Structure 1
Amino acid sequence: MQKDYAENYKKLGLKIAYFRKLKGLTQEQLAEILDVDTSFIGQIEAPNIYKPITLTTLFRIADALEMAPGELLDF
């Protein structure tokens, strides 16, 4: 039986939003730093959308937020 990780992705998105706001960044600013569409950041952060991301994306977001990737995964 395969585990559904939707809840973990939701928690990850909420943590990204929290730390982004803590750094004083808008979704638009983070998207610009990552060179992605603002809608992509919105999808990741939205608690009602299941948006898996790659490890590379996780690492890039953590770099942009000046934090260790593991901090984003510490639920």
Structure 2
Amino acid sequence: MKEEYREQYRKFGLNVVYYRKGLRITQLQLAELLDIQRSHISAIELGNVGVSFDLIFKMCEVFNIKPKELFDFRD
């Protein structure tokens, strides 16, 4: 990950946290729904890793949102 994009990764991760908590599920429960490890969810939420389009689309199905909503960064 390029350092210049670190803030965008962090904001994306915060949006994942927001939608996960809106469903009232844990990181482990989300990981199971997405078929990934809980540690990967943690890394995403902290903004430490990038996410594939496949995973973004799957997250949107779970959260029942459009992909653009994951990228709607609030100040």
TM-score range, shorter chain: 0.7 to 0.9
- CA gap 1:3/1:28 in 2 versus in 1, 3 angstroms: closer
Name the structure 2 match of 1:55. 53
- Tell me the CA shift for residue 20 of structure 1: 0.3
Structure 1 residues 34-75: Cα deviation after superposition (integer angstroms, max 9, x where no partner): 1111100011002xx521111111111111111111101011
Q: TM-score, normalised by structure 1?
A: 0.86
The whole-number CA distance in structure 2 between the counterparts of 1:3 and 1:44 is: 15
Aligned pairs, number: 72
Secondary structure, in 3 states, of the residue corresponding to 1:5?
helix
Secondary structure, in 3 states, of the residue corresponding to 2:32?
helix
Q: What percentage of aligned pairs have identical amino acids?
A: 38
Task: Give the ranges of 4+ consecutive aligned residues of structure 1 lying more than 6 Å apart after TM superposition.
Answer: none
Alignment of structure 1 residues 1-75 onto 2, 5 Å: 4-46=4-46, 49-75=47-73
The whole-number CA distance in structure 2 between the counterparts of 1:3 and 1:18 is: 24
Letter in structure 1 aligned against 2:23: K
Q: TM-score, normalised by structure 2?
A: 0.86
